[in-house]
Amino acid sequence: MSASRPVLEVTGLSKQFGGIVAVDGVSFEVREGEILGIIGPNGSGKSTLFNCILGQLQPSAGTVRLDGDEVTGLRPCDLNRRGVSRTFQLLQVFPELTVRENLILAGQEHQGTMLSRLFGRRDAGLGAAADRMIAFFRLQHLAQEKAGGLSYGQQKLLDAAMAFMAGPRLVLLDEPAGGVNLTMLANLRERLRAINAEEGATFVIIEHNMEFVMALCTRILVLAEGRVIAEGPPDVIRRDPKVIEAYLGH
């Protein structure tokens, strides 16, 4: 895998909020088919980093490249249509839409034009794809339920499923395991691994659940106070004194 070309290249990315430097010159790359984990103590700049990469926030400095093209500061919807998908730390499903409609929505903007969507099929031709995704995440019995009525763990699965609906090349997951029970967690981990293996999708995952990260990721980046303090495979990171210091030293 290490020989494959980078999908995402982040160079010297910084973000300041007034006098606070939330992200301070972070550089890394993600290669095709890789599962990169980003860990770090609370407030180390992980989510801000995501938001800068994904256009939710404008970075103060630095560049983001996707497949070699600069995409720094593109709007989230434009990035998403270029195959970059994400989930949020807090739950983000559309409670008034059914599970199936949530998934159709997640894919519909990736095809045709505004006009063709208006006059095209009601399900935007994505009904079958949505049903496959529902089956893949084992949500069949909930397909016609409004997403707002699902349990937290079920919504979390739907949230992840939505990120995969458009067949993205790169998915950034912000704490996918947060607040999910053990059975659901195993299901999620297994699903993510299957998509990575079958579709060759590339993942970047922010996560506090060490067990989840260590089991899933091929490489881990450690952030502390907005800077990268360590990078390497899980078993090296686990023993790195700097990482232990960052987590326990304060």
Of 11, 60, 92, 187, the one binding another protein by CB under 8 A: 92
C-alpha–C-alpha distance, residues 113 and 223, integer Å: 40
Please provide residue 19's backbone torsions phi and psi, each rounded to the nearest 5 degrees.
Answer: -90, -5
**Does residue 86 interact with another protein by CB under 8 A?**
yes
**Does residue 167 interact with another protein by CB under 8 A?**
no
**Does residue 3 interact with another protein by CB under 8 A?**
no
Q: Which stretch binds another protein (CB under 8 A): 19-27, 109-117, 185-193, 212-220?
A: 109-117
Q: How far is CA 161 from CA 70, 92, 111, 144, 227, in A?
A: 28, 12, 18, 15, 31
Q: From the CB of 210, what's the least distance to another protein, in Å?
A: 27
Tell me whether residue 135 or residue 186 sits nearer to another protein (CB atom).
Answer: 135
**Does residue 155 interact with another protein by CB under 8 A?**
no
DSSP label at residue 4: S
Within residues 181-240, the interface with another protein by CB under 8 A covers: none
Tell me whether residue 10 or residue 134 sits nearer to another protein (CB atom).
Answer: 134
**Does residue 136 interact with another protein by CB under 8 A?**
no
Tell me whether residue 155 or residue 202 sits nearer to another protein (CB atom).
Answer: 155
Of 14, 16, 61, 117, the one binding another protein by CB under 8 A: 117
C-alpha–C-alpha distance, residues 61 and 9, integer Å: 14
C-alpha–C-alpha distance, residues 27 and 59, integer Å: 13
Tokens 């496959």 belong to which residue?
Answer: 132
Tell me whether residue 118 or residue 182 sits nearer to another protein (CB atom).
Answer: 118
Q: From the CB of 30, what's the least distance to another protein, in Å?
A: 18
Taking a C-beta distance cutoff of 8 angstroms, is the pair 88, 51 a contact? Answer: no
C-alpha–C-alpha distance, residues 118 and 40, integer Å: 45
User: x/- string (CB under 8 A) for another protein, residues 41-80?
Assistant: -------------x-x------------------xxx--x
Which tokens go with 31? 């290669």
Q: From the CB of 242, what's the least distance to another protein, in Å?
A: 33
C-alpha–C-alpha distance, residues 247 and 175, integer Å: 17
Q: From the CB of 20, what's the least distance to another protein, in Å?
A: 22
Of 13, 35, 161, 162, the one binding another protein by CB under 8 A: 162
C-alpha–C-alpha distance, residues 124 and 109, integer Å: 9
* CA-closest candidate to residue 195, choices 28, 35, 29, 31: 35
C-alpha–C-alpha distance, residues 12 and 33, integer Å: 23
Taking a C-beta distance cutoff of 8 angstroms, is the pair 246, 229 a contact? Answer: yes
Return residues touching another protein (CB under 8 A). 54, 56, 75-77, 80-81, 85-86, 88, 92-97, 101, 104-106, 108-110, 114, 117-120, 122, 124, 131, 134-135, 140-143, 145, 149-151, 154, 162, 166
